[in-house]
Amino acid sequence: MRLLLLSNSTNTGMGYLEHARDTLGAFLGPAVRSVLFIPYAAVRFTYDDYAARVRAVFEPMGYTLTSIHEVPNPQRAIAEADALAVGGGNTFQLVHHLYNVDVMDAIRARVAAGAPYIGWSAGSNVACPTLCTTNDMPIIEPPSFQSLGLVPFQINPHYLDAHPDGHMGETREERLQEFLALNPGTFVVGLREGTLLRLDGGVLELAGPRPMRVLKQGRPPREYEPGANLQFLLHAPPVS
């Protein structure tokens, strides 16, 4: 499988996906001519608006972009796609519509057959076994929390270490530790802003300006810099 899983779509002071455009082009390469976009995580804007925003990124790089909501047969579009891109937004909304349109299995099959998969934020969440490490509110109830399971570990996009002064609630890490208490064999990757995970040729690597934080029940959290060996994450048992 070929996966590019981004923490976020926009860095401070930069345009949409601007921080990742060179990486996107290098990942897709010249063999890919078109990208099928999945905008189902959108909540406060239309699919048309979302597709236009993403199209403005991919088409100047030479890739035709079609949104799945524009096609009459979503399963067929996925089966014929050169590459798939799944945008961010609300993860519960995204998973709900992936089930509602009945494309979970089609995406898994297409990616297993070699089509590159790009996801950012919620699109990275759904590459995991479940959506349970999202930061999003459950604004809609999907049929299941089970996601695509393209990787066996969980991702927490937009990972933050901060604990604001005067805030008496749980930190992000404490919330993720709650998940791990109920799923003790699972690894959770805290993916900070501007960073991404790339899986290509069976090799998993971190790219970007910051390290990532890996949490697992029963051991202290560990930091991994870009270039570190991350293969252990590919052999971890998924959420049961």
**Sign (positive or negative) of CA dihedral 9, 121, 23, 105:** negative
- Name the 3-class secondary structure at 221: strand
- Quote the mean pLDDT of the chain: 95
Least confident of 8-12, 107-111, 128-132: 8-12
Q: Please identify which of the residues 19, 97, 124, 136 carries the catalytic annotation.
A: 136
Instruction: Return the amino acid letter for 102.
Output: D
**Sign (positive or negative) of CA dihedral 197, 32, 41, 45:** positive
Give the Å distances, CA to CA, from 150 to 46, 48, 105, 147, 226. 27, 27, 11, 9, 21
Q: What pLDDT was estimated at residue 194?
A: 96
pLDDT tens by residue, 135-173: 999 999 999 999 999 999 999 999 998 666 666 568 899
Q: What pLDDT was estimated at residue 155?
A: 98
Eight-class DSSP state of 208: S
CA angle 197/136/189 to nearest 5° reads 30
What residue ranges do the domains of the chain occupy?
Answer: 3-151+192-209
User: First and final CA of the chain: distance in angstroms?
Assistant: 22
Categorize the per-residue pLDDT at 106 as very low, low, confident or very high, splitting at 50, 70 and 90. very high
**Nearest CA-CA partner of 149 in 234, 62, 61:** 234
Q: Distance between CA atoms of 141 and 47, rounded to whole angstroms?
A: 20
Q: What pLDDT was estimated at residue 20?
A: 95
Q: Distance between CA atoms of 186 and 238, rounded to whole angstroms?
A: 6
Fold of 3-151+192-209: Rossmann fold (3.40.50)
- Based on the residue annotation, tell me whether 158 is a catalytic residue of this protein: yes
Q: Residue 43 in contact with residue 139, Cβ under 8 Å?
A: yes
Checking if the pLDDT of 95 tops 80, the result is yes
Extract the tokens encoding 144.
């299941």
- Based on the residue annotation, tell me whether 121 is a catalytic residue of this protein: yes
Q: What pLDDT was estimated at residue 169?
A: 65
Q: Please identify which of the residues 67, 121, 124, 147 carries the catalytic annotation.
A: 121
- Based on the residue annotation, tell me whether 136 is a catalytic residue of this protein: yes
Task: Residue 112: count other Cβ atoms within 10 Å of its Cβ.
Answer: 10
Mean pLDDT value of segment 19-34: 96
Q: Distance between CA atoms of 163 and 110, rounded to whole angstroms?
A: 41
Categorize the per-residue pLDDT at 26 as very low, low, confident or very high, splitting at 50, 70 and 90. very high
- Name the 3-class secondary structure at 144: coil
Checking if the pLDDT of 117 tops 80, the result is yes
In DSSP terms, which residues pair with 84 in a beta bridge? 36, 117
Q: At what angle do helices 47-58 and 21-28 cross, to 10 degrees?
A: 80
